[in-house]
Amino acid sequence: MTRVLCVGECMLELTHLDSTTARLGIAGDTYNTAVYLHRVARLLRAETEVGYLTGLGNDEYSADMRARWTTEGVIDCSLPVEDRMPGLYTVRVDGDGERRFSYWRSESAARKLFAGTDWAEHITGDLIHLSGITLQIASPPARQALLTRLRELRLGGTLVSIDTNYRPAGWDSPQDAARTMDLFAGLADIVFASWDDEAAMHACPTPADAAHRLAALGPREVVVKTGADGAHLLTDSGLRHTPAAIPSRVLDTTAAGDAFAGAYLAARITGQAPAEALQTARQVAAVVVAHPGAITPGDVPLLPTV
């Protein structure tokens, strides 16, 4: 049994369907990854437990989140935060499926939890997944506690993955974001990044340059996502580019990258080689962009029958 723990913030998601109607869901980059990792691992018949660590309150929406996690098969590893509620964001999607986000999260339960350091002691598992947004909402002392905990776990064989997911508004500066993410990328075994993020933080001229820059920090596997152009994978076997799978339609690109990361990690856990895992990930991402919102309905096939 492989135990996976994803760490970050799960929020309420309001997706605008038209000018007067919105659909309520729950999402958040590392939560999305947890859901798709669990779904794909199940499809691939892997013995995997996927947990999610965040801060939640004792309100109705926090209870709804916990219930939804259970439905998804994601283990509730949340820690209680008194007098706080989950954060909220809205999504508006244009005709090409591209998104505009607005956030209300400064007083969220997760942000209060990640201001302290005690939560880091609760991190455990065979694979720990986090993101740049996890680091963004964590205080500097919390980041140091997380770094220390991950170093301890790696000595015992735990694997670490990180998806950079750079959101400029949450950082003091691009330089602050770059320094912090590089510190954790250097500790990771698998790093996911988008070329847009690498271009913004490091002015990398090509996806290949971004992959080599990240690999020099120490991870064994680097995946640079390039949206509709696919992804670049860099391992000891060299650099390879895989085009994106062609979706049936592009309705909403929300969580496509998160689903890609979750599917890739699930495939690697089941023993697929990196190049094969890349193919699995691209198939899942193509399904996700054809549906509205971050999490597809549970009855939507993510992969051909295995």
Residue ranges covered by each domain of the chain? 2-288
Q: Compute how many other C-beta atoms are within 10 angstroms of the C-beta atom of residue 82.
A: 8
What does the pLDDT look like over 163-180, one tens digit per residue? Answer: 999 999 889 999 999 999
Look at residue 97 in the predicted model and tell me its pLDDT.
66
Determine contact, residues 86/11, Cβ cutoff 8 Å. yes
What does the pLDDT look like over 106-131, one tens digit per residue? Answer: 999 999 999 999 999 999 999 999 99
The stretches of the chain forming alpha helices (DSSP H) are 29-43, 60-72, 109-113, 132-137, 140-155, 174-185, 195-202, 207-215, 256-269, 274-288
Pair type for strands 190-194 and 48-53: unpaired
- Which CATH architecture does the domain made up of 2-288 adopt? 3-Layer(aba) Sandwich (3.40)
In the DSSP assignment, the letter for residue 117 is S
In the DSSP assignment, the letter for residue 248 is S
What does the pLDDT look like over 202-260, one tens digit per residue? Answer: 999 999 999 999 999 999 999 999 988 999 999 999 999 999 888 888 877 889 999 99
What's the whole-number mean pLDDT along residues 48-77?
98
Taking Cα atoms as reference points, which of 292, 282, 296 lies closest to residue 97?
Answer: 292
Measured CA to CA, the distance from residue 149 to residue 202 in angstroms comes to 27
What's the full length of the chain, in residues?
306
Tell whether the torsion through CA atoms of 2, 233, 192 and 253 is positive or negative: negative
**Higher confidence at residue 223 or residue 17?**
223
Measured CA to CA, the distance from residue 223 to residue 7 in angstroms comes to 20
Q: How much is the pTM?
A: 0.95
Helix (H) or strand (E) holding 225: strand 221-225
- 258 as an active site residue: the answer is yes
Measured CA to CA, the distance from residue 137 to residue 135 in angstroms comes to 6
| Residue tagged active-site, from 163, 197, 252, 258 | 258
Look at residue 305 in the predicted model and tell me its pLDDT.
66
Look at residue 11 in the predicted model and tell me its pLDDT.
97
